[in-house]
Amino acid sequence: MAVGLFDSGLGGLTVLDAVEKRLPEVPFVYYGDNLHAPYGVRDADDIYELTKRGVERLWQSGCDLVILACNTASAAALRRMQEAWVPRDKRVLGVFVPLIEALTERQWGDNSPPREVALKHVALFATPATVASRAFQRELAFRAIGVDVEAQACGGVVDAIEEGDQILAEALVRSHVEALQRKMPRPQAAVLGCTHYPLLEPAFQAALGPEVQVYSQANLVAASLADYLQRHPGMVGPGRERAFLTTGDPARISSRATAFMRREMVFQPA
């Protein structure tokens, strides 16, 4: 009954933590492609091939349903995978839609025409590849009109998180927020469009100010997954064992993950 979680590195652990708390009876298999992180500076074809490789490995672990707990992979690869590659007995889902549903106050499956919503000015902080894809704006346009989105590519942040350099990561957050505010001085809401970024949510909130509502994805994705599994119980795969897989050095990644999650995590070679 395993479900797979895919990420380019450690950021998806924020989603893993939330889904494990929401669905303690489900064994999750986590795949971190740490060897090739960060994805945010790669081109779309490269991201697509790497994501396919990771998803196939999770299918081999008995996960018929895989969540791309990576905004860059969701933005650059998901639609292409769903349209031309995913078999009919498998599912691959992304992390954008639950976030946009929360922003626009629409329920899952609401296919009514896009309408005006309360939010008019939204800041998007994401990787360069996610920003270039405009996937967030495209998905938002399916559900809402009249929303001004200003995107800021946050180069270097994922690298600093993966290297465990908190001081550099927080300094980069402040720099990227200042750059965003030069383009949109008073956003009503800010979207942390990378699953690494919740690890720095206090830094984003401090730089943006208390009047800006900051949206991160972990709990939203967990609630959406719980709802999906209730409606599609057959998509829980045959796998029975929880596992943490990495394409990087297992000892190093285990140490980093344990520090991030504040609990022991032992990764195995993918």
Q: Report DSSP state, residue 251.
A: H
Q: Is 70 a catalytic residue?
A: yes
Query: 92 vs 69, 232, 250, CA distance in Å?
Result: 11, 13, 25
Give yes or no: 63 in active site. Answer: no
Catalytic residue among 70, 95, 123, 135: 70
The SS3 call for residue 19 is: helix
- In terms of phi and psi (left: phi > 0; alpha: psi -120 to 50; beta: otherwise), the region of 93 is beta
**From the candidates 5, 123, 135, 194, which is the catalytic residue?**
194
Tokens (6 digits) for 236: 């829980």
Q: What does the chain come to in residues?
A: 270
DSSP category for residue 235? G
> CB pairs under 8 A, 24+ apart, for 49-57?
50/8, 51/6, 51/76, 51/77, 51/81, 52/77, 52/81, 52/85, 54/6, 54/270, 55/4, 55/6, 55/81, 55/92, 57/31, 57/245, 57/270
Dist CA 66 CA 228 (whole Å):
12
Question: Hey, which residues are catalytic here?
Answer: 70, 194
